[in-house]
Amino acid sequence: MKTPYKNIYSVLKLNRFIVLAVVVCALLTSTFSVWIAFTTHKNALNSAFAINTDGSIIPLKLVTQKENFKVEALAHLELFHNYFYNIDASNYERNLKKALWLGNSSVDNLYRQKKADGVYNRLLQYSLVQKVLSIDSRITDNNGSYSFTTTTIFEINRGSIIDTYELISTGNLIMVDRNFPNNPHGLLIADYFENTLKKLNNEN
C-alpha cells in the first residue's frame, strides 16, 4: 500500500508559519534583551556601590550622593571661611594654616597678598579681633562642576570701636581625596576671589 504524499501547499504553509513564528520570537527576545540592557545601564548610571563592613554591597542613589555633596560642600565652605576670617593675634597662624589645606593656589595667593599688604601685622600691632558672625553659601551645579557664592558677615573689634563688614566671595569646588584631619570633606576651593567688601555699621 503506497504512503499518501501530503499536499505541497500544506507543507509550504506549515513551513512558512514555523519561519514566521521563529522570526517573531527572535524579535521579541531581542527587544526584551535591549530593554533589559537599557534599564540596567540606566540604573547603573543612577547608582553607586559601597562595601559594607560585613562585605555586602550597598547601592547608593545618585540623588542621595548629590544631596550628600551639597551638605559636605556647605560644611567645607563654612569651615574654610571660619578659618580664614575668624582670626586674632593668638590664633591667626594656626587658623590660616588650616584654611590653606582647604583651597588651592588661589587661596594661597590671596593669603600672600594680604600678608604683603600688612593685614596680619596690623592684627598683631593693634591686637585686633576679627570674628565671623554668619556664613551663607549658595552652590550652583554647572553640569557636574560646582561654583559657589558666599556671604560672610564679620566684625573687627578695635577695642572701643567694633566695625561690621559684609564680604561676598566666589569660587569653584574641586573633588579631591579626603585627608583627615586636614581636609575631611575631600573638596578643594579653586579660583577663590573676594568680590566685594562693604562696611555695614559702626558700634561704639
CA distance 132 to 86: 5
Of 25, 63, 24, the closest CA to residue 46 belongs to 63
Kindly provide the residue ranges of all beta strands, DSSP E only, lying in the chain, ordered along the sequence.
Answer: 47-51, 57-61, 87-88, 129-142, 145-157, 162-175, 187-203
Residue with cell 598683631: 124
Q: What are phi and psi of 127, to 5 degrees?
A: 50, 45
Q: Which residues contact 177 (CB under 8 A, 6 or more apart)?
A: 186
What percent of the chain has pLDDT above 90? 58
Domain residue spans in the chain?
Answer: 7-47, 62-200
**3-class DSSP state for residue 3?**
coil
The reported pLDDT for the residue numbered 54 is 59
The reported pLDDT for the residue numbered 204 is 43
The reported pLDDT for the residue numbered 133 is 97
Query: Which has more confidence, 183 or 42?
Result: 183
Assess contact for 81 and 132: CB atoms under 8 A.
yes
pTM: 0.69
Q: Would you mind telling me the total number of residues written for the chain in this entry?
A: 204
Bond prior to 181 in cis (omega within 30° of 0):
yes
The reported pLDDT for the residue numbered 174 is 94
Cell of 107: 587661596
Q: Identify the CATH assignment for 62-200 out of 3.90.1150.10, 3.30.70.560, 3.10.450.230, 3.90.1300.10.
A: 3.10.450.230
